[in-house]
Every structure is written in structure tokens, then in C-alpha cells.
Structure 1
Amino acid sequence: MRYYLIAGEASGDLHGANLMKALRLVDAEAEFRFLGGDLMVSQGGDLVKHYKEMAYMGFLEVLMNLPAIMRNLKQAKSDLLKYKPDALVLIDFPGFNLKVAEFAKQNGIKVFYYISPKVWAWNQRRVLKIKKVVDKLFCILPFEVDFYKTWGMEVDYVGNPLLDAIAAFEADKNFREKHGFSDKPIVALLPGSRKQEILKILPEMLHTANRFPNYQFIIAGAPSFTADFYTQAAFGTQALPVVFSDTYNLLNCAHAAIVASGTATLETALFHVPQVVVYKTSAVSVAIARTLIKIKYISLVNLIMDKPVVKELIQEDCNPQMIAEELEKLLDGNYRHEMQKNYIDLSLKMGSPGASEKTAQLILQTLTNKH
């Protein structure tokens, strides 16, 4: 079978790569063409466009980059028609991917959506569009199944692919030594994977780091950036070490973490690292988001548990003073231990690994039933 995949950011690249690996196990003839990243490239096939040319965050940033987004969309549609895949597999990235799904459906291409768009957060009526343009939808968060049922849509819960990635992780015992880190306890800084969010969030993290001389703060670098970018993004604050493509080893060694809202909050929790979740973007984007978003929390940890397990510091609350106060509580004592107890419950709720394999089997089963 010929598969065309679209992932528009770092987390999608990770999940896309794992899915490609699983598809090849169930379909020896699998061929891939994709918009994605380096991890997907490592699985073979042809890269059409790298996600670093596609990822824009926030309403204002999307508006400012609309011509580039429209060019990317036009290219994806044209390339999709030329390739004529047996299946289009869309991974998250809904603003872009739902437009491609509509186009594919009009042209008789089978559409699979892996990692459901977060329509439960805002613009819930988009479910009606999903019902029309997506043949099969795979969810990775437990509460999504019930949400879609309220809209009369049956979906498959396949578990969460992060569990696959973490299960496959093998800790490097020489991680500290390899990077020249001291024996001081580590606080991991995960400022996100998009340029705009790093520029907003990283300086707040670095100003916080200055207040904790007995800890070493280490940045998890996104693979699409260089060390120089992080130095520039620091805006004159103290330069800190950056670790690229080794976030799991960093989390495995971390005593605590400061994490930008996104997939990384769930990864940090699954490594049982106490964390404070932060987020900051343009004032216009936040003002719009606050009128549209219909959820109580922004972090996946709190959404899955349906309670405030981790503290969320958003926009004006994302400042060195408030981050430092929260971090202080995470370093020792009951608050820290209570969070880690909640993490155990979270892990049980998430279930076992195997999301990629389940999804691959369901895709192939649907395709073979078609013929």
C-alpha cells in the first residue's frame, strides 16, 4: 500500500515515525511519502516538506503567515493527487489537515486521522466536518471517545503513542558524564518546539533559573533549532546548556521541570517528574483564545485527570516570580509527593503501550476490506 502522511510539528513527527514503523510490520509492501520531520525520514520514504516550514502558533502568527500556509496547502494537495496513495494519514495539526482531508475526500482518497483534532477544546462544531471528510478517526486520549459519542460519532481509542515511545526508551547511564553535567540536581526546561513560543517562554524560564544556585537548569532543545538560536532567544540572560534529541534522558535524570504547555507536559508526567506548566504567546492570540476555548485546563495532565494535578501559569502569570514560587514547592515535601501519586493514577488511566500497532492494524484492515 502507498501511504501519504502529514505531520506539522515535532510531536507529530514522533508519532508519525512510530506509526510508519508499525505499518511496515503489518504491510511489507508499505511505501511512504510525507510532510513531516527527521524522525519520519529515518523510517524511509520521501519527505515533501519539513514541519519547521509549517509550524505557526497562535491566531496572530497564523494570520501573519497566511500566504506561506496557503502555499504549503496548495503544494500538499497537488503532491497528494500526483502520488495517488491508497491512504492519507493525517496526524493532529487540524487547521491544515482538515483542509487536506476535505480535498482528499473530494478526490476519492481514503482519509484516516491519527491523533484526533482537539475539537473538544474549541469550535466543537468542527466535529460535523470531521464526520463528513474523515473515514476513520483514532483517538489517543481516554476522554475523547465519550466526547465524540455526544456528537453521534464512533471513534477508535488506540491508547497513547507516547507510551510506545517511552516503552522503547533505554536510559543512557552516562548521560550526565557525556554532557559534562555536575552532580547537582537537574531542573529540566522544556520551552516548546515552535520558534514563537520559545522566544516568549524561554526568557521567563532563564530568569527563574538564576534564583536556584543549588540546581543545574538544562534546556531540552527542539531538533529544528541550533544552540545559537537558544543563546539569542535568551535575550542576554545567563546561557544554559542545551541538550538536543535527548529529552527522555534529560527527564529521566531530572528532579523537577518547567514545561511549556503541549505534549511535553504528558511526557514529563509519564516520567514522574514534578512540573510546573507555563504558556505565553502574543496578547492578541491569548485574548482571542480566552473567548473561544471551552476547557478548564490547558495541560494534558490536568485534562486527562479532570483536576488540577499540575499548576498552570498562563500569560501574565508566566513570570519568574510565580514560576520560582511553584518550583520551590516541587523540589521537596508533600506537594511534590502528592503530584507523583497523581502521576501513578495517570499512568493507569493511560493504559498500556501499543497505539501505533493498533492504529496500523486498523488502517490496513479498513483498506483491505475496501478492495
Structure 2
Amino acid sequence: MKYFIIAGERSGDLHGSNLVTAIKMADKEAEIVGWGGDYMEAAGVNILMHYKALAFMGFFEVLMNLSKILGFFKVCKKQVLDYKPDAIILIDYGGFNMRLAKWAKSQGFKVFYYISPKVWAWNQNRALKLKQNIDRLFVIFPFEVDFFKKFDYEVEFVGNPLFDAIATFRPNPDFLSQNKLNDKKIIALLPGSRKQEVEKMLELMVATKKQFPEYRFVIAGVGNLSKEFYQRFLTDDISLVFDQAYDLLSHAEAAMVTSGTATLETALFGVPQVVCYKTSPITYSIGKIVIRVPFISLVNLIAQKEVVTELLQDELTPENIALEIKMVLNNSERRKEQIAEYQRIRSILGSTGASATTGKRIVEILNNSRLANH
């Protein structure tokens, strides 16, 4: 069968690659093209558009780039029509993918969604659009099943794909020596993957360095940004590693993390953290009006209480970041509490196999529907 898959950012690309591997195991004849990145390409997807071109975030930023985004949408529709897939698989990336789902459904394509857009966070009525336009929605957080039930929408909870990514991770035994990080204990900086957020976050994170002379700061760099881009943040005591976030978290004492998937990854590695988030004043003002959840980090949302401190917008200052990091270093009570709560979060999320389950289910549903049509 033929599949067209769309992931618009790095984490979607990673989970998409594991999903593709599972589809190919269940469907030996699978042909897969789509939008994504290096991970999906390595898994055998013919990449028609790299997610680097699609990295717009925030209400204001999206509005500023609307014509560009509409242009991408037009290109994508043409590619789908030319390819005529048996199924379109959408991964997260709500703004673009929900719009595409509506169009694809109107054209009679079978549409699957893996990793639901965060419709529970804001504009919750979008759940009705998902119900209308998606043949099957696979969700990765247990609380999403109950949320969608309110809209009389049965979804499938498949577990969390981060467990897959972490389970397949093999630590590099030479990570410290190869990156010349043997001299001091490490505080990890995970500033995100989009240029505009990384710039904003790193300026604030590195400004705390003088308060931690006995530690080395290590930035988790991402391959879609150049070494030159990070260069101005580096000093004798601030290092950079590229695409080695899991190795970095395996050695870190604490972490400063930009809100997003990385907060949950940091928790699953058992590293105490402070969550950082800052966007344009316009985007933040709109967000305050429309966002319907009490927390911004996945860690707190899953725990349904404050496990990690979230420093947002004006609260995100070097002084506040440093204060929070100091509170989770050494053998403090706060540190022990966070690590204990991380264990509880692990048990809530289940175990490995989210991508394998989803891939198998997609092929199964397509085969059943083919049988029913004959």
C-alpha cells in the first residue's frame, strides 16, 4: 500500500521514523513518501519537504508568515493528489495537519492521526473537527481518552512514543571524553529546536552561569541549526553538543528546559529541571485568553499537579532560573520530590510500543476496510 506521512517538526520526525519502521514490518509492500526530516528519511521515507522549512511558532509569527504557509499547503495538496496514497498519516503539527485533514477527507482519502494536536489546551471545540475529519485518532496521553469522550469520540490510547525513543537509545560510553566534558559536573541546557526560541532561551539560560562556577553548562544543540549560530553562547565553561540530548541527560545533574517534548524526556531520564517559556508579548497575551489548561509542561499536565517549576514570560529571568536550579541540585528535598514524581509519571504513561502498536493498527484497519469493500 501507499502512504503519505506528514510531520512538521523534529519530535514528529523522530516518532514518524519509528512508526514507518512498524508499518514496513506489517506491510512488506509499503511505499512511503511525505514531509518530515532526517530520521524519517533514514527509515526509508522519500522526503518531499523537510520540516526545517515549516518552523513557525506562535499566533503572531504564524500570521506574519500566512502567505508562505498557504503556499506550502497548496504544494502538499498537489503532491497528495499526484501520489494517490491509500492512507494519509498526520503526526502532531496541529495547525497545518488539521487543515490538511479536512481537505483530505473531502477528497475521499483515508486519514489517520498519530499524536493528537493539543486541542485540550485551547479551542477545545476543535475536537469535533478531528472527529469529523479523521478515520482513527491515536493518542499518547491517558487523559486524552477521557477528554475526547466528552465529545462522544472514541480514540485509541497507544502509549507514549518517547518510551520507544528512549528504549532504543544506547548511551555512548565515550560521550564525556569525546566532548571534553570530564572536568566538572554538568547542567544541561535544552533551549528547543526552532531558531527564534533557541536564541531567546539561551540568552537567559547562559546569563545564570556566573552563579554556578563549579558546574559546566552544556547546550543540547540540534542539527537543523549551525554551529556558528550557537558560537556566541560558548565560553570555556559553556560547551555545545549536537544531536546528543539523551547522552547529555544521562550525565546531567539538572537541566534548564524550554517547554515542549523535552520536559517529558528530561523527566524520563530522571533529571531535575526548571521549565522555561517566553514568546512574543502578542502571542502570550492571546495564549493567556485562549489556553484552557493549568500548566504548560507535559510533566505537570500528566501528573495533574506542579511537579516542576514553570517560569513563564516575565517570570523567566536569569535570577529566577538560577534560584530554581539551586533548589534541585545536590541532595535537596526538592530534588528527591521531583525524582519520586517522575517515577509516578512513568507508571501513568505505560511502557514501550506506541509506534509499533500504531503502525500495526493502521495496516490492520486498511486491510479490514479493503476486505469490507470486496
Give yes or no for TM over 0.5.
yes
Quote the Cα distance in structure 2 between the aligned partners of 1:29 and 1:140.
27
Contact 1:196 1:281 in 2 (8 A): no
**Superposition pairs for residues 147-186 of structure 1, below 5 Å?**
147-186=147-186
Contact 2:223 2:243 in 1 (8 A): yes
Quote the Cα distance in structure 1 between the aligned partners of 2:46 and 2:237.
37
Quote the Cα distance in structure 2 between the aligned partners of 1:10 and 1:132.
27
| 2:329 is equivalent to residue 344 of structure 1 | no
Structure 1's 3 and 118: CA in aligned 2 closer, same or farther, altered over 3 A?
same
Q: Once superposed, what is the RMSD of the aligned Cα atoms?
A: 1.2
* 2:369 corresponding residue in structure 1: 370
| 2:358 is equivalent to residue 356 of structure 1 | no
**Superposition pairs for residues 95-106 of structure 1, below 5 Å?**
95-106=95-106
Q: Structure 2 unaligned runs (5+)?
A: none
* 2:223 corresponding residue in structure 1: 223
How far apart are residue 183 of structure 1 and its match? Answer: 3.2
Contact 1:175 1:249 in 2 (8 A): yes
Q: Pick from 262, 266, 269: which aligns with 1:268?
A: 266
Instruction: Supply the AA of the counterpart residue of 1:74.
Output: K
Quote the Cα distance in structure 2 between the aligned partners of 1:181 and 1:128.
50
Instruction: Supply the AA of the counterpart residue of 1:165.
Output: A
**Superposition pairs for residues 137-156 of structure 1, below 5 Å?**
137-156=137-156
Q: Pick from 316, 324, 327: which aligns with 1:326?
A: 324
Structure 1's 239 and 328: CA in aligned 2 closer, same or farther, altered over 3 A?
closer
**Superposition pairs for residues 1-371 of structure 1, below 5 Å?**
1-232=1-232, 234=233, 240-332=238-330, 333-371=332-370
How far apart are residue 103 of structure 1 and its match? Answer: 1.1
Instruction: Supply the AA of the counterpart residue of 1:351.
Output: G
CA distances 1:165-218 after superposition (whole Å, capped 9, x unpaired): 101111111110011112311111000111111121110001012321100000
Quote the Cα distance in structure 2 between the aligned partners of 1:36 and 1:210.
39
How far apart are residue 55 of structure 1 and its match? Answer: 1.4
How far apart are residue 108 of structure 1 and its match? Answer: 1.1
Contact 1:206 1:238 in 2 (8 A): no
Quote the Cα distance in structure 2 between the aligned partners of 1:15 and 1:25.
16
Helix, strand or coil at the partner of 1:39 = helix
Quote the Cα distance in structure 2 between the aligned partners of 1:83 and 1:319.
49
Contact 1:191 1:197 in 2 (8 A): yes
Which segments of structure 1 move beyond 4 Å, counting only runs of 4 or more?
236-239
Q: Structure 1 unaligned runs (5+)?
A: none
Helix, strand or coil at the partner of 1:143 = helix
CA distances 1:293-337 after superposition (whole Å, capped 9, x unpaired): 000000000000000000000011111000000000010211101
Helix, strand or coil at the partner of 2:142 = coil
How far apart are residue 128 of structure 1 and its match? Answer: 1.1
CA distances 1:88-112 after superposition (whole Å, capped 9, x unpaired): 0000001000111111111111000
Q: How many equivalent residue pairs?
A: 369
Quote the Cα distance in structure 1 between the aligned partners of 2:236 and 2:171.
29
